Chain A
């Protein structure tokens, strides 16, 4: 369960889990195209979109606004990293 909204500084769409998660970023990184990573967050690329994933489950979409695509990518990430 998650909500999709504008982040507080209004630039990016953020997907926020209703309950706090602790994602397995290493597992996630091994399955996606990673362009930058730390132990607290990774930056993934999906086609032309860059997505920042925080270990507590927040996902920031830098430019994508299509809610159905955002929903699909978020589900894909949670399935792998919170499986």
Chain B
């Protein structure tokens, strides 16, 4: 049991290019991987969720947890400074991931985060995001460049799925904060009922067996 837990990981699977590659790297290193997908419905359609399921099937991931989080993300947009939206929403997603990971006896959470690839993924922001939870976060692509990750996605057979149609999110800021500080973010988070938002999302988890 202990050994099983040592190798079990909850992957945050977005349907984009990076997270499937991160998951495949773990699978190839003998980790057991289950996945969690956050769908921004109703502010998007369900195309990202459908892609995630296809990707999970392609990679041999047996279970995907799917959560509709659009309404809860909207509450963050309403209450907090918009430039911190990505950081606060990511911290919320990680808290949910940690709860599910513990329930599923996972030792780690894995993401497709990649340093500096988008404005919000700076070292400072990833540090603040990571501090939302205690569990270790594996980021196999952290220092990859995009071309390298795309090449891997093509090798793994996930690239064509990942670049398929997916509706844009409208909730993000045009100019996200790039150098956040933990004390500022914690102060911002006090403007929302974070526990309430997390509980709402945990009530409606869809478990998809592949």
Contact = CB atoms under 8 A, between A and B. Distances in A.
Interface in A54-73: 54, 58, 60, 62-63
B170 A54 contact: yes
Interface string B127-168: 000000000000000000000000000000000000011111
A36 B70 contact: yes
Interface residues of B, number: 18
Contacts, number: 56
A58 B77 CA distance: 18
B59 interface: no
Nearest to A39: B78
B196 interface: no
A12 interface: yes
B70 A60 contact: no
Contacts of B31: none
Nearest to A8: B168
A41 B167 CA distance: 15
A43 B166 contact: no
Interface in A1-56: 7-12, 14, 35-41, 43, 50, 52, 54
Contacts of A50: 42, 45
Interface string B32-52: 000000000011110100000
Interface of A: 7-12, 14, 35-41, 43, 50, 52, 54, 58, 60, 62-63
Interface of B: 42-45, 47, 70-71, 74, 77-78, 82, 164-168, 170-171
13 contacts: A7-B167, A8-B168, A9-B165, A9-B167, A11-B167, A36-B43, A36-B70, A36-B74, A38-B74, A40-B170, A41-B43, A50-B45, A60-B167
